[in-house]
Structure 1
Amino acid sequence: MERFLPDDEATVAFGQELAGLLEPGDIVSLEGELGAGKSALARATIRALAGDPELEVPSPTFALVQPYDTPRGPVLHADLYRLGEAAEAEELGLLDNANAFVLVEWAERAAHVAEVATIVIALSIPSGGSGRNLVLTRR
């Protein structure tokens, strides 16, 4: 699936759509350069899973992983950008709960996490810098 997300509202709408497509146990790898919209899409998806558009969803950049309890089930939001080495990802417990929804930014920094992703979303900034290109692949 390919989409152009022209603005923040389109990103939120796609996050809501994605939340409806996710099944317990899905691991979503969010790929793209800094500023491509990975965190914004993760926030929108988590808020939709929680059924709370005002839910505080801080970036997990420094904590590495933020857990959420939602009516749909447990959600883990991870950002592996600051990971020192791939083995450190195992300590985060991202793959421990087979029923959790897992959204991972920078999963490529831990190959064993990236390899088991059931959905890969690649975000890119088009020339001109407005909006985002999105490519979703289900494995």
Structure 2
Amino acid sequence: MFDVVIGAGVVEHIPEDKRINFFTEVDRCLNNDGALYLTAPVEVGFSGLIRFLAKNFVYPNRGGTPNGVSRYFDYSLEEFLKTVPRNKHGTGHRYYNYTYTINELKSIFDNVSIYGWPVKKLKQLNPLLFIQAKNNK
């Protein structure tokens, strides 16, 4: 049994069909007052758009990015509205939708708290989320 389980930079790489099992197993392995701490990138919504544009500005020639100006218009409306389906483009990190992760955590844990980084009060408008999940056992 563990007091804390930390998943920094991990959750977006766990296949969709295995993530709920991962969270269930973590819950089983936590002590009564234990907690799961995760980081999750914000790849969708307004913050996802800003992150997308910044990555393309900093790394204009990275693999999988359209060439020229079109790379700045490759962000879809479904990404902006956070309705990206779970299986869009396989396990591509860019299409990771944190909203599914939060809903899965809330289905298993009693208390799920979300903190944005770098400006805590902006929550999901940040490029990164810190998530704490605990159960009242």
Which TM-score bucket, shorter chain as reference?
Answer: 0.3 to 0.5
What's the TM-score, normalizing by structure 2?
0.33
Q: Look at both structures and tell me which one has the larger radius of gyration over its CA atoms.
A: 2
What's the TM-score, normalizing by structure 1?
0.32
